């Protein structure tokens, strides 16, 4: 059973999640939100890479006011990330946030939470209730003798209840941990008890290398169990890398179609080109194409055509020249330094899958 088919439908700007709608990819800017120009530039790069929803931190009133200017220049829903100061949550909504992310446990008194909920209700803005293993309440740590999946779920259900008691149910829920298997277990428990869409991620996952592995394992298990409505791959690096990995996870699980898949050989002693550099260039270049095809990048002209036969199109390096290949057939030889440009020309002219 896919739990995501039965979660509540929630609208975030012009996007819809829950109720079996497609899983959306989210990321977070690492610019200063007050820097409108820099933040917009980063969001546009993320949009081009395939980001569906973007989150920005709102630590002060200048950041809250900047949201309005940022929204005018981007094309995806904007989520305000709030910690501690309930006034920032209200200011963010007043300045156009499409959703807010709060942990009611650190917002403060019930009156302050009520003020935030009242503002959200007035504008029909969804609230993402976030619980993190690093900030689990002391009484739950003591009750479960440490940070546990059961404690995270109890905390989340409690916070959801606070907002429900205030007469509001336009919510998304997230429970995150840097412990992959603890996070998996928590989602398995929560999915059975929660009717709201779940935002899934492995928090503080690490560098592009370590974070990608931890996120792929954790998200792979959780998503394959039918859990999750939005996802984020959290990396200490360029957030565009988060989008690339998230798309690959969804494609690998056959959850999302579309987007170019790049395959490349592991290199060997026959390789006479910078295959690793070329493959990375190709992987970055293809992010913007809404094509459901496979592109191969091969290191030599000896086995390249055969190894690339399952790909729709491919390039193979030689010694000073390379090959353009389609479905395992050599189409033409080109100078090595033109391989990337020739591939781009072919993709620009490739018929749409629509």
Are 190 and 311 in the same domain?
no
What are the tokens at 249?
């996870």
Kindly state whether residue 175 falls inside one of the protein's structural domains. yes
Q: Concatenate the DSSP letters of all residues of 243-298 into one string.
A: HHHHHHHHHHTTS---SPEEEE----TT--S-HHHHHHHHHHHGGG-----EEEEE
183 is in an annotated binding site: no
- 325 pLDDT more than 90: no
> pTM for the complete prediction?
0.85
Phi, psi of 311 (to 5 degrees): -90, 155
Residue 51 contacts residue 76 (beta carbons within 8 Å)? yes
Residue 332 predicted with pLDDT over 70: yes
Does residue 268 have a known ligand-binding role?
A: yes
Does pLDDT of 268 surpass 80? no
Q: Domain of 180: which CATH number?
A: 3.20.20.20
194 is in an annotated binding site: no
Query: Taking the mean position of all CA atoms in its chain, how far away is CA 259?
Result: 15
Residues 219 and 328 placed together within one structural domain of the fold:
no
Alpha carbon distances (Å) from 122 to 118, 183, 215:
6, 34, 36
203 and 333 belong to one structural domain: no
Same domain, 36 and 153: yes
* Residue 334, Cβ density class (10 Å: 0-12 exposed, 13-18 middle, ≥19 buried): middle
User: Residue 273: which domain range?
Assistant: 261-348
pLDDT of 94 reads 97
Q: Is 307 annotated as a binding residue?
A: yes
- Domain count across the chain: 2
Distances (CA, A) of 98 to 167, 297, 328: 20, 40, 47
Co-location of 9 and 145 in the same domain? yes
1 pLDDT tier (thresholds 50, 70, 90): low
At 249, phi and psi to the nearest 5?
-60, -45
Give 17-40 as a DSSP string.
ESTTPPPEEEEE--S-TT-HHHHH
Q: How confident is the model at residue 86 (pLDDT cuts 50, 70, 90)?
A: very high
Domain assignment present for residue 339? The answer is yes
| Dihedral (CA of 291, 292, 297, 301) sign | negative
Residues 224 and 268 reside in one and the same domain: no
Residue 67 and residue 107 in one domain: yes
Q: Is residue 354 part of a domain?
A: no
**Is 343 in the same domain as 272?**
yes
Predicted confidence (pLDDT) at residue 275 exceeds the cutoff of 80: no
For residue 260, is pLDDT > 90? no
Shared domain for 59 and 202, answered yes or no, is yes
């Amino acid at each position: 059973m896919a739990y995501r088919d039965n979660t509540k439908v929630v609208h975030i700007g012009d996007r819809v999640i829950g109720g079996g709608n497609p899983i959306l990819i989210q990321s977070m800017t690492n610019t200063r939100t007050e820097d409108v120009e820099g933040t917009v530039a980063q969001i546009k790069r993320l949009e081009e890479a395939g980001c569906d929803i973007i989150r920005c931190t709102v630590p002060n009133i200048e950041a809250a006011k900047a949201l309005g200017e940022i929204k005018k220049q981007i094309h995806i829903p904007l989520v305000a990330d709030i910690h501690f100061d309930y006034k920032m949550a209200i200011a963010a909504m007043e300045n156009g946030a499409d959703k807010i992310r709060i942990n009611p446990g650190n917002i403060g008194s019930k009156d302050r939470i009520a003020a935030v909920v009242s503002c959200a209700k007035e504008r029909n803005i969804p609230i993402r209730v976030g619980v993190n293993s690093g900030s689990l309440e002391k009484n739950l740590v003591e009750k479960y003798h440490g940070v546990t999946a059961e404690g995270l779920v109890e905390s989340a259900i409690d916070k959801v209840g606070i907002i429900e008691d205030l007469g509001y149910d336009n919510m998304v829920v997230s429970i995150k941990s840097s412990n992959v298997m603890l996070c998996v277990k928590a989602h398995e428990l929560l999915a059975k008890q929660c009717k709201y869409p779940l935002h899934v991620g492995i928090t503080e996952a690490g560098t592009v290398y370590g974070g990608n592995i931890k996120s792929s394992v954790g998200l792979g298990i959780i998503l394959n169990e039918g859990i999750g409505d939005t996802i984020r791959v959290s990396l200490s690096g360029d957030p565009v890398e988060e989008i690339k990995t998230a798309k690959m996870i969804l494609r690998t699980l056959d959850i999302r179609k579309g987007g170019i898949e790049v395959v490349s050989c592991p290199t060997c002693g026959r390789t006479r080109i910078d295959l690793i550099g070329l493959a990375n260039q190709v992987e970055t270049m293809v992010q913007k194409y809404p094509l459901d095809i496979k592109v191969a990048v091969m290191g030599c002209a000896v086995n390249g055509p055969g190894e690339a036969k399952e790909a729709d199109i491919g390039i193979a390096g030689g010694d000073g020249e390379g090959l353009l290949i389609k479905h395992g057939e050599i189409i033409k030889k080109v100078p090595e330094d033109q391989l990337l440009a020739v591939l781009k020309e072919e993709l620009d002219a490739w018929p749409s899958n629509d």
